[in-house]
Amino acid sequence: MGDWSGYLTLILQGAWVTIKLTLMGSALALVVAFVAGLGRISRVAALRWLSTAYIEFFRGTSIFVQLFWIYFVLPMTGLWAPTPMQAGVLALGLNVGAYGAEVVRGAILAVPRDQYEACIAVNLTRFQRMRHIILPQALPLMLPTFGNNAIELLKATSVVSLISLADMTFQAQVVRSQTGNTLLPFVTILVLYFAMSSVLSLAIRSYERRVTRGLDGVR
């Protein structure tokens, strides 16, 4: 029993790594999603092209390949040699951010046209109408899909075990190799993944209710 207590501690240490990956990866994905999503509807052709190229590339290639390129190939260029944590956050953030960018673009375009016309009528600048009028109405449309993307990112963190980053999946494999028991470690991480995704889902729903409060009369 004492041995299994030690193995559980090992898995919980991996769970903390998974949580850090999820939080940092989600933060990066959110920033990238807004930058690329706004770039897709920019009046500047170069920004639209760059944003589209980024989105299509990261949506059209495997996250496994992206992770391996960042961790194994990028150091060969001499530009940067990321740590396993940095490589994991970068791959997860850029991959999920590409999907989030289309969410941002679609939500902004879904805001009724008369809202834009009203902004122009009161002589708001493009930045002012985006900051004060358009984004506050588009954000509630983004949140449900952002929540799904965050949960997908959480589940995708298991890929970092391929570069020997000691997340939950990696630690479960260590426990399995040391004990020969497959059921217990993988049932444990199954429960932990479900618990984490449930917390994420509840947090997003709570924030969505807070954001949408008072907007019903606007939309």
Q: Are the beta carbons of 30 and 100 closer than 8 angstroms? A: yes
Is a pLDDT exceeding 70 seen at residue 169? yes
Q: Which of 106, 94, 95, 92 is nearest to 38 (CA)?
A: 106
pLDDT per position as a tens digit, 178-213:
888 889 999 999 999 999 999 999 999 998 888 877
pLDDT of residue 1: 47
What's the pLDDT band for 21 if we cut at 50, 70, 90?
Answer: very high
113 contacts: CB under 8 Å, gap ≥ 6:
none
Write out the E strands in the chain. Answer: none
Q: Give how far Cα 129 sits from Cα of 49, 104, 107, 119, 176, Å.
A: 24, 16, 15, 6, 56
Q: Are the beta carbons of 152 and 172 closer than 8 angstroms? A: no
Query: What is the average per-residue pLDDT within 63-78?
Result: 93
pLDDT per position as a tens digit, 84-136:
999 999 999 999 999 999 999 999 999 888 888 888 888 788 888 888 888 88
What's the pLDDT band for 83 if we cut at 50, 70, 90?
Answer: very high
Q: Residue 61 in 3-state DSSP? A: coil
pLDDT of residue 69: 94
pLDDT of residue 215: 59
pTM: 0.90
pLDDT per position as a tens digit, 43-57:
899 999 999 999 999
Decide which of 216 and 22 is more confident: 22
Residue type, 206: S
Q: In 10 A of CB 92, how many CB atoms?
A: 27
% of the chain beyond a pLDDT of 90: 63
Is a pLDDT exceeding 80 seen at residue 174? yes
Class of the domain covering 2-212: mainly alpha
